[in-house]
Amino acid sequence: MSDQKLEIAITYCRVCGFLPRATWTAQELLATFAEWTTDLRLVPGGSGQFEVTVDGDAIFSRKAEGRFPEMKELREAISRRLE
């Protein structure tokens, strides 16, 4: 993997109660990518949002996919950015 540093943001619907899923997702991503991460933010949102962005680029959107992300697919998407 490269020496590139990433900024990850997880936007979650606070009204829907997605905070626990967002914090778990953040924990898992940090466990895997802490060495390559300069910033990981949890961003409260609404309207059923659960979106993960890396350096401002969406890598997952619950609205677009109609489901929550699998951790494996998030890890793979981030790993591709580091190659």
pLDDT at 1: 59
Q: What is the pTM of this model?
A: 0.94
Low-confidence ranges of the chain (pLDDT < 50): none
Residue-level pLDDT at 2: 65
* Contact (CB, 8 A) for 39 and 71: no
For 43, residues 6+ apart whose C-beta sits below 8 A from its C-beta are 9, 10, 11, 12
pLDDT score of 4? 80
pLDDT for position 19? 98
Check: CB of residue 15 under 8 Å from CB of residue 49.
no
